[in-house]
Protein backbone atom coordinates (compact mmCIF):
# COMPACT_ATOMS: atom_id res chain seq x y z
CA UNK A 1 0.00 0.00 0.00
CA UNK A 2 2.82 2.35 0.89
CA UNK A 3 4.54 1.69 -2.40
CA UNK A 4 1.32 2.19 -4.34
CA UNK A 5 0.65 5.54 -2.70
CA UNK A 6 4.23 6.58 -3.36
CA UNK A 7 3.80 5.72 -7.01
CA UNK A 8 0.61 7.77 -7.20
CA UNK A 9 2.35 10.67 -5.53
CA UNK A 10 5.10 10.59 -8.09
CA UNK A 11 2.66 10.48 -10.97
CA UNK A 12 0.87 13.51 -9.57
CA UNK A 13 4.12 15.42 -9.27
CA UNK A 14 5.12 14.56 -12.80
CA UNK A 15 1.76 15.69 -14.05
CA UNK A 16 2.14 19.00 -12.28
CA UNK A 17 5.58 19.49 -13.73
CA UNK A 18 4.30 18.54 -17.15
CA UNK A 19 1.59 21.19 -16.92
CA UNK A 20 4.07 23.89 -15.92
CA UNK A 21 6.79 22.81 -18.37
CA UNK A 22 5.66 25.05 -21.28
CA UNK A 23 5.76 28.08 -18.96
CA UNK A 24 9.27 27.09 -17.78
CA UNK A 25 10.47 26.62 -21.32
CA UNK A 26 8.99 29.95 -22.35
CA UNK A 27 10.71 31.63 -19.41
CA UNK A 28 14.08 30.06 -20.24
CA UNK A 29 13.78 31.04 -23.90
CA UNK A 30 12.79 34.59 -22.96
CA UNK A 31 15.72 34.91 -20.57
CA UNK A 32 18.09 33.50 -23.18
CA UNK A 33 16.94 36.05 -25.74
CA UNK A 34 17.29 38.87 -23.24
CA UNK A 35 20.60 37.80 -21.73
CA UNK A 36 22.36 36.60 -24.91
CA UNK A 37 23.08 40.11 -26.17
CA UNK A 38 24.19 41.11 -22.68
CA UNK A 39 26.86 38.39 -22.72
CA UNK A 40 28.66 40.20 -25.52
CA UNK A 41 27.34 43.73 -24.93
CA UNK A 42 30.48 44.76 -23.06
CA UNK A 43 32.87 43.89 -25.86
CA UNK A 44 34.21 46.77 -27.90
CA UNK A 45 32.20 47.15 -31.10
CA UNK A 46 34.50 47.46 -34.12
CA UNK A 47 33.52 48.16 -37.71
CA UNK A 48 35.52 48.79 -40.92
CA UNK A 49 36.23 52.43 -41.67
CA UNK A 50 35.50 54.43 -44.81
CA UNK A 51 36.48 52.54 -47.94
CA UNK A 52 36.00 53.11 -51.66
CA UNK A 53 36.83 49.53 -52.55
CA UNK A 54 34.15 46.85 -52.47
CA UNK A 55 34.63 43.66 -50.48
CA UNK A 56 35.03 41.75 -53.76
CA UNK A 57 37.73 44.17 -54.84
CA UNK A 58 39.51 43.54 -51.55
CA UNK A 59 39.68 39.88 -52.58
CA UNK A 60 40.95 40.73 -56.06
CA UNK A 61 43.57 43.09 -54.65
CA UNK A 62 44.78 40.44 -52.21
CA UNK A 63 44.98 37.73 -54.86
CA UNK A 64 46.96 39.92 -57.22
CA UNK A 65 49.32 41.29 -54.61
CA UNK A 66 49.91 37.86 -53.04
CA UNK A 67 51.35 36.60 -56.35
CA UNK A 68 53.81 39.48 -56.39
CA UNK A 69 54.57 39.00 -52.70
CA UNK A 70 55.49 35.34 -53.07
CA UNK A 71 57.92 36.21 -55.86
CA UNK A 72 59.71 38.59 -53.52
CA UNK A 73 59.75 36.47 -50.35
CA UNK A 74 61.31 33.14 -49.44
CA UNK A 75 58.46 30.77 -48.63
CA UNK A 76 59.04 27.95 -46.15
CA UNK A 77 57.42 25.37 -48.47
CA UNK A 78 57.03 22.76 -45.74
CA UNK A 79 53.75 20.96 -46.30
CA UNK A 80 53.16 19.84 -42.70
CA UNK A 81 53.89 23.25 -41.17
CA UNK A 82 51.90 25.13 -43.85
CA UNK A 83 48.91 22.79 -43.40
CA UNK A 84 48.99 23.21 -39.64
CA UNK A 85 49.14 27.01 -39.78
CA UNK A 86 46.47 27.17 -42.50
CA UNK A 87 44.08 24.93 -40.53
CA UNK A 88 44.64 26.92 -37.33
CA UNK A 89 44.16 30.22 -39.15
CA UNK A 90 40.92 29.14 -40.79
CA UNK A 91 39.46 27.99 -37.47
CA UNK A 92 40.16 31.43 -36.08
CA UNK A 93 38.90 33.22 -39.19
CA UNK A 94 35.56 31.43 -38.83
CA UNK A 95 35.01 33.58 -35.71
CA UNK A 96 35.89 36.86 -37.43
CA UNK A 97 32.92 39.20 -37.87
CA UNK A 98 31.82 40.79 -41.11
CA UNK A 99 32.63 39.61 -44.63
CA UNK A 100 33.59 35.94 -44.95
CA UNK A 101 36.79 36.30 -46.96
CA UNK A 102 38.65 33.30 -48.48
CA UNK A 103 41.42 33.32 -45.89
CA UNK A 104 44.71 31.59 -46.67
CA UNK A 105 47.70 31.30 -44.34
CA UNK A 106 51.29 30.65 -45.41
CA UNK A 107 54.67 30.56 -43.67
CA UNK A 108 57.64 32.66 -44.78
CA UNK A 109 61.16 31.27 -44.35
CA UNK A 110 62.37 34.15 -42.22
CA UNK A 111 63.38 34.06 -38.56
CA UNK A 112 62.42 37.67 -37.97
CA UNK A 113 59.34 37.92 -35.73
CA UNK A 114 56.76 39.36 -38.10
CA UNK A 115 53.49 38.73 -39.92
CA UNK A 116 51.27 40.65 -42.31
CA UNK A 117 47.89 40.38 -43.99
CA UNK A 118 46.73 41.44 -47.43
CA UNK A 119 43.22 42.65 -48.27
CA UNK A 120 40.69 39.91 -48.88
CA UNK A 121 42.32 37.09 -46.93
CA UNK A 122 45.99 36.21 -47.63
CA UNK A 123 47.94 36.09 -44.35
CA UNK A 124 51.69 35.51 -44.09
CA UNK A 125 53.56 34.61 -40.93
CA UNK A 126 57.32 34.26 -40.53
CA UNK A 127 58.77 31.04 -39.16
CA UNK A 128 60.30 33.25 -36.47
CA UNK A 129 56.86 33.71 -34.90
CA UNK A 130 56.43 29.93 -34.58
CA UNK A 131 59.89 29.59 -33.09
CA UNK A 132 59.29 32.45 -30.62
CA UNK A 133 55.78 31.42 -29.50
CA UNK A 134 55.63 29.40 -26.28
CA UNK A 135 52.34 27.71 -27.16
CA UNK A 136 49.54 27.54 -29.72
CA UNK A 137 47.50 30.26 -28.03
CA UNK A 138 50.33 32.77 -28.55
CA UNK A 139 50.65 31.81 -32.21
CA UNK A 140 46.86 32.02 -32.54
CA UNK A 141 47.04 35.51 -31.05
CA UNK A 142 49.31 36.73 -33.85
CA UNK A 143 47.10 35.10 -36.49
CA UNK A 144 43.95 36.58 -34.92
CA UNK A 145 45.57 40.03 -34.99
CA UNK A 146 46.28 39.68 -38.73
CA UNK A 147 42.80 38.29 -39.42
CA UNK A 148 41.42 41.42 -37.75
CA UNK A 149 43.32 43.64 -40.18
CA UNK A 150 41.56 41.79 -43.02
CA UNK A 151 38.11 41.83 -41.38
CA UNK A 152 38.42 45.55 -40.61
CA UNK A 153 39.68 46.20 -44.16
CA UNK A 154 42.62 48.25 -42.93
CA UNK A 155 44.69 47.80 -46.11
CA UNK A 156 42.20 49.23 -48.59
CA UNK A 157 41.02 51.75 -46.02
CA UNK A 158 44.57 53.13 -45.94
CA UNK A 159 44.74 53.11 -49.74
CA UNK A 160 41.35 54.84 -50.00
CA UNK A 161 42.27 57.64 -47.62
CA UNK A 162 45.64 58.21 -49.28
CA UNK A 163 44.15 58.22 -52.76
CA UNK A 164 41.27 60.54 -51.86
CA UNK A 165 43.82 63.10 -50.81
CA UNK A 166 45.52 62.93 -54.21
CA UNK A 167 42.67 63.09 -56.71
CA UNK A 168 39.04 64.23 -57.03
CA UNK A 169 36.50 61.81 -55.62
CA UNK A 170 34.63 61.62 -58.94
CA UNK A 171 37.71 60.35 -60.77
CA UNK A 172 38.57 57.97 -57.93
CA UNK A 173 35.02 56.65 -57.81
CA UNK A 174 35.09 55.97 -61.54
CA UNK A 175 38.34 54.09 -61.23
CA UNK A 176 37.08 51.95 -58.39
CA UNK A 177 33.88 51.24 -60.26
CA UNK A 178 35.80 49.69 -63.14
CA UNK A 179 36.44 45.98 -63.46
CA UNK A 180 40.22 46.30 -63.60
CA UNK A 181 41.57 46.26 -60.08
CA UNK A 182 45.07 45.93 -61.50
CA UNK A 183 44.69 49.17 -63.41
CA UNK A 184 43.23 50.83 -60.33
CA UNK A 185 46.18 49.81 -58.19
CA UNK A 186 48.62 50.98 -60.83
CA UNK A 187 46.99 54.42 -60.97
CA UNK A 188 46.89 54.60 -57.19
CA UNK A 189 50.54 53.60 -56.95
CA UNK A 190 49.66 50.91 -54.41
CA UNK A 191 52.02 48.16 -55.55
CA UNK A 192 53.30 45.58 -53.11
CA UNK A 193 56.23 46.32 -50.82
CA UNK A 194 56.82 45.49 -47.18
CA UNK A 195 56.36 49.16 -46.33
CA UNK A 196 53.63 49.92 -48.86
CA UNK A 197 50.38 51.73 -48.13
CA UNK A 198 48.60 48.37 -48.02
CA UNK A 199 50.66 47.17 -45.07
CA UNK A 200 51.65 50.26 -43.11
CA UNK A 201 48.92 50.59 -40.49
CA UNK A 202 48.15 53.46 -38.16
CA UNK A 203 48.27 53.15 -34.40
CA UNK A 204 44.47 53.29 -34.37
CA UNK A 205 44.32 50.35 -36.78
CA UNK A 206 46.77 48.44 -34.58
CA UNK A 207 44.65 49.07 -31.50
CA UNK A 208 41.52 47.87 -33.31
CA UNK A 209 43.28 44.70 -34.52
CA UNK A 210 44.45 44.01 -30.96
CA UNK A 211 40.93 44.25 -29.55
CA UNK A 212 39.24 42.24 -32.31
CA UNK A 213 42.06 39.69 -32.15
CA UNK A 214 41.38 39.19 -28.44
CA UNK A 215 37.69 38.73 -29.23
CA UNK A 216 38.45 36.13 -31.92
CA UNK A 217 40.72 34.23 -29.52
CA UNK A 218 38.06 34.29 -26.82
CA UNK A 219 35.30 33.15 -29.18
CA UNK A 220 37.57 30.36 -30.51
CA UNK A 221 38.08 28.94 -27.03
CA UNK A 222 41.68 30.08 -26.54
CA UNK A 223 43.20 31.82 -23.57
CA UNK A 224 42.94 35.37 -24.92
CA UNK A 225 45.60 36.51 -22.46
CA UNK A 226 48.15 34.74 -24.68
CA UNK A 227 48.07 37.65 -27.15
CA UNK A 228 49.13 40.09 -24.43
CA UNK A 229 51.74 37.61 -23.21
CA UNK A 230 53.31 37.33 -26.65
CA UNK A 231 53.32 41.10 -27.16
CA UNK A 232 54.92 41.50 -23.73
CA UNK A 233 57.57 38.94 -24.63
CA UNK A 234 58.62 40.51 -27.93
CA UNK A 235 58.31 44.03 -26.53
CA UNK A 236 60.85 43.13 -23.83
CA UNK A 237 63.11 41.72 -26.53
CA UNK A 238 62.76 44.89 -28.61
CA UNK A 239 63.51 47.15 -25.66
CA UNK A 240 66.43 44.91 -24.67
CA UNK A 241 68.42 45.85 -27.75
CA UNK A 242 67.15 43.15 -30.12
CA UNK A 243 64.88 45.00 -32.57
CA UNK A 244 61.72 43.07 -33.44
CA UNK A 245 60.58 43.51 -37.05
CA UNK A 246 56.92 43.17 -36.05
CA UNK A 247 56.94 46.71 -34.70
CA UNK A 248 58.24 48.17 -37.98
CA UNK A 249 54.85 47.76 -39.67
CA UNK A 250 52.76 47.25 -36.52
CA UNK A 251 53.39 50.45 -34.54
CA UNK A 252 52.72 50.11 -30.84
CA UNK A 253 49.50 52.07 -30.13
CA UNK A 254 50.56 52.57 -26.52
CA UNK A 255 49.38 50.60 -23.49
CA UNK A 256 48.90 47.68 -25.87
CA UNK A 257 49.10 44.95 -23.25
CA UNK A 258 46.87 46.85 -20.82
CA UNK A 259 44.24 47.43 -23.54
CA UNK A 260 44.14 43.73 -24.50
CA UNK A 261 43.75 42.69 -20.87
CA UNK A 262 40.98 45.24 -20.36
CA UNK A 263 39.12 43.82 -23.38
CA UNK A 264 39.46 40.32 -21.93
CA UNK A 265 37.90 41.58 -18.69
CA UNK A 266 35.00 43.00 -20.72
CA UNK A 267 34.54 39.59 -22.33
CA UNK A 268 34.23 37.99 -18.92
CA UNK A 269 37.83 37.07 -18.15
CA UNK A 270 39.80 34.04 -19.25
CA UNK A 271 37.15 31.66 -17.95
CA UNK A 272 37.65 27.93 -17.61
CA UNK A 273 38.31 25.20 -20.11
CA UNK A 274 40.16 27.43 -22.56
CA UNK A 275 42.84 26.06 -24.89
CA UNK A 276 46.47 27.00 -24.49
CA UNK A 277 48.47 24.45 -26.42
CA UNK A 278 48.25 21.38 -28.67
CA UNK A 279 50.53 18.57 -29.76
CA UNK A 280 50.12 19.83 -33.35
CA UNK A 281 51.79 23.10 -32.35
CA UNK A 282 54.63 21.26 -30.64
CA UNK A 283 55.11 19.07 -33.73
CA UNK A 284 55.10 22.09 -36.07
CA UNK A 285 57.59 23.96 -33.87
CA UNK A 286 59.90 20.94 -33.85
CA UNK A 287 59.61 20.64 -37.62
CA UNK A 288 60.50 24.31 -38.11
CA UNK A 289 63.44 24.09 -35.73
CA UNK A 290 64.80 21.04 -37.56
CA UNK A 291 64.89 22.87 -40.91
CA UNK A 292 68.04 24.55 -42.23
CA UNK A 293 68.49 28.20 -41.40
CA UNK A 294 66.99 30.56 -44.00
CA UNK A 295 69.44 31.58 -46.75
CA UNK A 296 71.05 34.97 -46.46
CA UNK A 297 68.69 37.71 -47.63
CA UNK A 298 71.12 38.80 -50.33
CA UNK A 299 71.06 35.36 -51.98
CA UNK A 300 68.96 35.15 -55.19
CA UNK A 301 65.53 33.63 -54.64
CA UNK A 302 65.94 31.27 -57.57
CA UNK A 303 68.58 29.28 -55.70
CA UNK A 304 66.24 28.94 -52.74
CA UNK A 305 63.02 28.01 -54.55
CA UNK A 306 64.07 25.72 -57.37
CA UNK A 307 64.39 21.94 -57.26
CA UNK A 308 67.82 20.29 -57.21
CA UNK A 309 67.74 19.28 -60.87
CA UNK A 310 71.17 17.73 -60.60
CA UNK A 311 69.71 15.09 -58.31
CA UNK A 312 67.03 14.35 -60.90
CA UNK A 313 69.72 13.72 -63.49
CA UNK A 314 71.60 11.25 -61.28
CA UNK A 315 74.17 13.44 -59.51
CA UNK A 316 74.54 13.25 -55.73
CA UNK A 317 76.01 15.24 -52.84
CA UNK A 318 79.61 14.79 -51.79
CA UNK A 319 80.30 11.41 -50.16
CA UNK A 320 80.42 11.36 -46.31
CA UNK A 321 83.83 12.33 -44.98
CA UNK A 322 85.84 9.88 -42.84
CA UNK A 323 86.33 12.65 -40.28
CA UNK A 324 83.46 13.13 -37.84
CA UNK A 325 82.44 16.07 -35.66
CA UNK A 326 79.97 16.19 -32.78
CA UNK A 327 76.52 17.79 -32.66
CA UNK A 328 74.45 18.10 -29.50
CA UNK A 329 70.91 19.22 -28.74
CA UNK A 330 68.58 18.93 -25.75
CA UNK A 331 68.13 15.14 -25.97
CA UNK A 332 71.30 13.66 -27.46
CA UNK A 333 74.76 14.09 -28.90
CA UNK A 334 75.68 12.49 -32.22
CA UNK A 335 78.77 12.49 -34.44
CA UNK A 336 78.42 13.20 -38.16
CA UNK A 337 80.74 13.61 -41.17
CA UNK A 338 82.49 16.97 -41.04
CA UNK A 339 81.35 17.81 -44.58
CA UNK A 340 77.69 17.58 -43.43
CA UNK A 341 75.79 20.37 -41.73
CA UNK A 342 73.55 20.08 -38.65
CA UNK A 343 70.49 22.30 -38.38
CA UNK A 344 67.94 22.58 -35.63
CA UNK A 345 66.98 23.79 -32.18
CA UNK A 346 65.58 22.15 -29.06
CA UNK A 347 65.04 18.42 -29.55
CA UNK A 348 64.71 18.42 -33.36
CA UNK A 349 67.55 18.39 -35.90
CA UNK A 350 68.37 17.63 -39.52
CA UNK A 351 71.90 16.57 -40.49
CA UNK A 352 72.59 16.61 -44.21
CA UNK A 353 75.30 17.18 -46.82
CA UNK A 354 75.17 20.22 -49.08
CA UNK A 355 72.53 19.40 -51.70
CA UNK A 356 70.89 16.83 -49.43
CA UNK A 357 67.85 19.07 -48.93
CA UNK A 358 65.79 19.56 -52.11
CA UNK A 359 62.35 20.78 -53.15
CA UNK A 360 59.91 18.08 -54.24
CA UNK A 361 57.32 18.33 -57.04
CA UNK A 362 54.98 20.29 -54.75
CA UNK A 363 57.61 22.84 -53.79
CA UNK A 364 57.99 21.38 -50.28
CA UNK A 365 61.47 21.12 -48.78
CA UNK A 366 62.43 17.46 -48.35
CA UNK A 367 65.44 15.44 -47.23
CA UNK A 368 66.98 13.29 -49.94
CA UNK A 369 70.27 12.45 -48.16
CA UNK A 370 70.91 12.68 -44.43
CA UNK A 371 69.41 12.16 -40.99
CA UNK A 372 66.38 13.52 -39.10
CA UNK A 373 66.31 13.50 -35.29
CA UNK A 374 63.10 14.27 -33.43
CA UNK A 375 60.77 13.41 -30.54
CA UNK A 376 57.33 11.88 -31.14
CA UNK A 377 54.56 11.95 -28.53
CA UNK A 378 52.02 9.14 -29.03
CA UNK A 379 48.41 10.22 -29.51
CA UNK A 380 46.85 7.59 -27.25
CA UNK A 381 46.18 9.10 -23.83
CA UNK A 382 45.99 5.72 -22.15
CA UNK A 383 49.34 4.79 -23.62
CA UNK A 384 50.92 8.07 -22.62
CA UNK A 385 49.67 7.74 -19.04
CA UNK A 386 50.99 4.19 -18.72
CA UNK A 387 54.32 5.15 -20.23
CA UNK A 388 54.81 8.23 -18.09
CA UNK A 389 53.55 6.41 -15.03
CA UNK A 390 56.32 3.85 -15.40
CA UNK A 391 58.98 6.42 -16.20
CA UNK A 392 58.98 5.51 -19.91
CA UNK A 393 59.78 1.89 -19.31
CA UNK A 394 61.96 2.32 -16.24
CA UNK A 395 61.17 -0.45 -13.81
CA UNK A 396 62.43 -3.70 -12.42
CA UNK A 397 61.83 -7.33 -13.21
CA UNK A 398 61.14 -9.29 -16.37
CA UNK A 399 57.52 -8.19 -16.48
CA UNK A 400 58.53 -4.54 -16.50
CA UNK A 401 61.00 -5.11 -19.34
CA UNK A 402 58.40 -6.95 -21.43
CA UNK A 403 55.83 -4.22 -20.80
CA UNK A 404 58.37 -1.53 -21.76
CA UNK A 405 59.23 -3.35 -24.98
CA UNK A 406 55.55 -3.73 -25.85
CA UNK A 407 55.00 0.00 -25.33
CA UNK A 408 58.01 0.76 -27.53
CA UNK A 409 56.50 -1.36 -30.31
CA UNK A 410 53.11 0.33 -29.95
CA UNK A 411 54.62 3.81 -30.09
CA UNK A 412 56.77 2.90 -33.10
CA UNK A 413 53.77 1.48 -34.95
CA UNK A 414 51.80 4.64 -34.23
CA UNK A 415 54.64 6.82 -35.53
CA UNK A 416 54.90 4.76 -38.71
CA UNK A 417 51.14 4.97 -39.22
CA UNK A 418 51.25 8.77 -38.89
CA UNK A 419 54.11 8.96 -41.39
CA UNK A 420 52.12 6.85 -43.85
CA UNK A 421 49.19 9.27 -43.69
CA UNK A 422 51.29 11.94 -45.40
CA UNK A 423 53.27 9.48 -47.59
CA UNK A 424 50.78 7.34 -49.50
CA UNK A 425 53.40 5.31 -51.34
CA UNK A 426 55.42 4.49 -48.23
CA UNK A 427 55.68 0.84 -47.17
CA UNK A 428 57.40 -0.98 -44.34
CA UNK A 429 60.06 -3.45 -45.49
CA UNK A 430 61.41 -4.73 -42.14
CA UNK A 431 60.15 -3.81 -38.69
CA UNK A 432 60.53 -4.48 -34.95
CA UNK A 433 64.13 -5.65 -35.07
CA UNK A 434 65.70 -5.28 -31.63
CA UNK A 435 68.88 -3.21 -31.37
CA UNK A 436 70.58 -1.12 -28.68
CA UNK A 437 71.26 2.62 -28.63
CA UNK A 438 73.56 3.91 -25.90
CA UNK A 439 72.67 0.90 -23.75
CA UNK A 440 68.90 1.37 -24.16
CA UNK A 441 66.48 -0.96 -25.91
CA UNK A 442 65.62 0.28 -29.40
CA UNK A 443 63.81 -0.86 -32.52
CA UNK A 444 65.04 -0.84 -36.11
CA UNK A 445 62.53 -0.43 -38.96
CA UNK A 446 63.30 -0.19 -42.68
CA UNK A 447 60.87 1.79 -44.81
CA UNK A 448 60.67 2.29 -48.57
CA UNK A 449 59.30 5.56 -49.94
CA UNK A 450 59.39 7.82 -52.99
CA UNK A 451 62.54 9.95 -53.14
CA UNK A 452 62.13 13.71 -53.76
CA UNK A 453 64.81 13.40 -56.48
CA UNK A 454 63.03 10.55 -58.28
CA UNK A 455 62.85 6.79 -57.83
CA UNK A 456 62.66 5.13 -54.43
CA UNK A 457 64.53 5.80 -51.21
CA UNK A 458 65.34 3.75 -48.11
CA UNK A 459 64.55 5.18 -44.69
CA UNK A 460 66.16 3.47 -41.70
CA UNK A 461 63.99 4.34 -38.69
CA UNK A 462 65.45 3.83 -35.21
CA UNK A 463 63.22 4.41 -32.15
CA UNK A 464 64.14 4.69 -28.45
CA UNK A 465 62.01 5.44 -25.40
CA UNK A 466 62.88 8.68 -23.62
CA UNK A 467 61.23 10.68 -20.79
CA UNK A 468 60.34 13.37 -23.37
CA UNK A 469 58.60 10.86 -25.66
CA UNK A 470 59.70 8.53 -28.42
CA UNK A 471 63.12 9.54 -29.73
CA UNK A 472 63.46 8.63 -33.39
CA UNK A 473 66.19 8.93 -36.01
CA UNK A 474 65.56 8.51 -39.73
CA UNK A 475 68.62 7.81 -41.93
CA UNK A 476 67.72 8.50 -45.57
CA UNK A 477 69.27 7.99 -49.01
CA UNK A 478 68.01 6.93 -52.45
CA UNK A 479 67.94 3.15 -52.94
CA UNK A 480 70.83 3.26 -55.38
CA UNK A 481 73.07 5.01 -52.81
CA UNK A 482 71.85 3.71 -49.46
CA UNK A 483 74.34 0.85 -49.21
CA UNK A 484 77.21 3.28 -49.82
CA UNK A 485 75.93 5.57 -47.05
CA UNK A 486 75.05 2.78 -44.63
CA UNK A 487 78.49 2.60 -43.04
CA UNK A 488 78.38 6.31 -42.17
CA UNK A 489 74.82 5.93 -40.87
CA UNK A 490 75.88 3.07 -38.59
CA UNK A 491 78.83 5.07 -37.23
CA UNK A 492 76.48 7.95 -36.50
CA UNK A 493 74.04 5.69 -34.64
CA UNK A 494 76.84 4.05 -32.66
CA UNK A 495 78.00 7.53 -31.55
CA UNK A 496 74.60 8.54 -30.13
CA UNK A 497 74.64 9.44 -26.45
CA UNK A 498 71.29 10.35 -24.93
CA UNK A 499 71.07 12.96 -22.19
CA UNK A 500 69.97 11.04 -19.12
More confident: 326 or 192: 326
**Strand locations in 301-359 (E):** 324-328, 332-337, 340-345, 348-353, 357-359
First and final C-alpha spacing in the chain: 73
User: What is the per-residue pLDDT across 233-244, written as a single tens digit (0 to 9) for each?
Assistant: 998 887 877 788
User: What is the per-residue pLDDT across 73-126, written as a single tens digit (0 to 9) for each?
Assistant: 889 988 889 999 999 999 999 999 999 999 999 999 999 899 999 999 999 999
Predicted confidence (pLDDT) at residue 193 exceeds the cutoff of 50: no
Other CB atoms within a 10 A radius of the CB of residue 255 amount to 11
Show Cβ contacts of residue 33 under 8 Å, excluding neighbours closer than 6 positions. none
d(CA 402, CA 407): 9
Give whole-number Cα distances, 26 to 21, 22, 402, 443, 449, in Å. Answer: 8, 6, 62, 64, 62
Is residue 500 very low, low, confident or very high in pLDDT (cuts 50, 70, 90)?
A: low
Partner residues linked to 327 by β-bridges: 334
Predicted confidence (pLDDT) at residue 386 exceeds the cutoff of 60: no
Predicted confidence (pLDDT) at residue 7 exceeds the cutoff of 90: no
d(CA 19, CA 8): 17
The three-state secondary structure class of 302 is helix
Of 42-46, 290-294, 479-483, least confident by mean pLDDT is: 290-294
User: What is the per-residue pLDDT across 30-73, written as a single tens digit (0 to 9) for each?
Assistant: 444 444 434 454 899 999 988 888 899 889 888 888 887 887 78
Q: How many residues does the chain have?
A: 500
Predicted confidence (pLDDT) at residue 313 exceeds the cutoff of 50: no
Scanning 42-134, the segments in alpha helix (DSSP H) are: 55-72, 79-93, 127-132
Domain chopping of the chain, boundaries: 1-38, 55-282, 306-498
Partner residues linked to 107 by β-bridges: 125
More confident: 303 or 147: 147
If you ran DSSP here, which 8-state letter would residue 222 be given?
B
Nearest C-alpha neighbor of 498 from the set 461, 458, 464:
464
Q: Domain 306-498: state its class.
A: alpha beta
Amino acid sequence: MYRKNLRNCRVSQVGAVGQSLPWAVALVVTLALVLAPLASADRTLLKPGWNMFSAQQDIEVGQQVSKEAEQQMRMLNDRRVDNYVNNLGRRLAAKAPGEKYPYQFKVVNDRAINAFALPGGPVYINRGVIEAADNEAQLAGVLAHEISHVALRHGTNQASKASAAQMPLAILGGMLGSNSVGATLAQLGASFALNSILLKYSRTAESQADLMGAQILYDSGYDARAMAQFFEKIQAQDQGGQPVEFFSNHPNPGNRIQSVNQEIDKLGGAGRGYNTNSREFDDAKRDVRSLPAPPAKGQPLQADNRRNDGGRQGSQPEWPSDRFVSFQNSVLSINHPDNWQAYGQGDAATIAPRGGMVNDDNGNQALAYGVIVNIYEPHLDAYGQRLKGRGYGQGSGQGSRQDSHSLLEQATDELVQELRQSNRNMRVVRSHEDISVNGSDALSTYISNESPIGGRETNWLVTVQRPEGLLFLVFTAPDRDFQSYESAFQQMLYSVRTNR
